[in-house]
Amino acid sequence: MFEGMFEIFNNDNKKKDEETEISYPESLSSSEPDSSPPTYSNYSSSKIFVISVGGSILIKNKPDKDAISAISSCLNDLIRQGYKLVLVVGGGKIARDYVNTAKDLGANNFELDELGIRVTRANAFLLSMAIDNAYPQIITNIKETDDVLAKGKTPIFGGLMPGFTTDAVGALLAEYLGGTFINLSNVDGIYTADPAAHPTARMYHEISYDKLLQLLTSNAMKPGQNLILDLPAAMVLKRSGLSAFFLNGHDTENIKSAIQGGSFKGTVVRPEAVEAIDGDEPVVSKPKRKKKPAAKKKSARRVIDDEYEELNPDHIRF
């Protein structure tokens, strides 16, 4: 079901320049388990980080001043050290409260998305007040990011368009800039199951995009699931070939250590990963090759569609 739905994401057009080329140490291709904590320097040399800040980090029943001060202090330290950050801020509980109320009042899905976007931008504006070199306006165009970074400012985004999560916005920004995607939430990383509902769930230290998509698609079919990432965002990250990190947004020292190249607690996702869970030996996972379907006679409409896809290999249908 999902395979056909997201077929357009599975392309091999992964152009990288020397500055954003991801390098992997020889030790990661070994079959021997590595008990040492992962380090960011094992995965990339880029100094551009697109950080998706979950609304749950900043907002509880109301904006959490202490939490906002803590995360902004961490980000300001990294910016002063020369790291280029692009921030994307989510909606959190307050956005869900607005959306649920609007739904009860009769709003349609498009209007609910529009309302959610406005709440994420309000959250983004709130965080921008605590970022020392924040661009004075919340950015709404991905292509403006280059100019803002060139001015020495930190671009901050909320949502961009209906039907598109802030995680998906962050994934597209990472792809556009050739940077690294970092997801900050209220959990330590990606688990074998929801840790809130399953105390015995174990966290992945490293995982492939194929395995991540398998987890997301299987859990998306279960009612009441709160997924750590949505499927479109995962598909964008997979096609980009870039590394992604999933960290606890409340552990600011861990965030700094991860970005600075030190050891950290969290989950790394990349195309070919040595899948490692607490207590298990790593298993090398590579993307599966799809069998080519038997040739069928194409209709005139399908011929036109195929030509369109060849001209637009990265076109996304949501």
Listed by start position, the domains of the chain span: 36-292
CB 292 within 8 A of CB 285: no
What is the rounded CA–CA span in Å between residue 187 and residue 158? 21
Residue-wise pLDDT tens digits, 17-42: 333 332 323 332 333 334 455 554 44
CATH class of 36-292: alpha beta
- The average confidence (pLDDT) of the chain is 78
Residue 224 CB contacts under 8 Å (≥ 6 apart), including other chains: none
Residue 136 backbone dihedrals phi, psi, to 5 degrees: -70, -10
Q: Decide which of 169 and 195 is more confident.
A: 169
Q: Containing H/E element for 268?
A: strand 267-270
pLDDT, tens digit (0-9, with 9 covering 90-100), for 195-230: 888 888 899 999 999 988 888 887 654 443 456 788
DSSP 97-163: HHHHHHHHTT--HHHHHHHHHHHHHHHHHHHHTTSTTB-SS-B--GGGHHHHHHTT-B-EE---STT
State pLDDT tens for residues 221-265: 444 345 678 888 999 999 999 899 999 999 999 999 999 999 999
Top mean-pLDDT range of 181-185, 193-197, 294-298: 181-185
- pLDDT > 90? residue 90: yes
Distance CA(245)–CA(239), nearest Å, equals 16
pLDDT of residue 296: 53
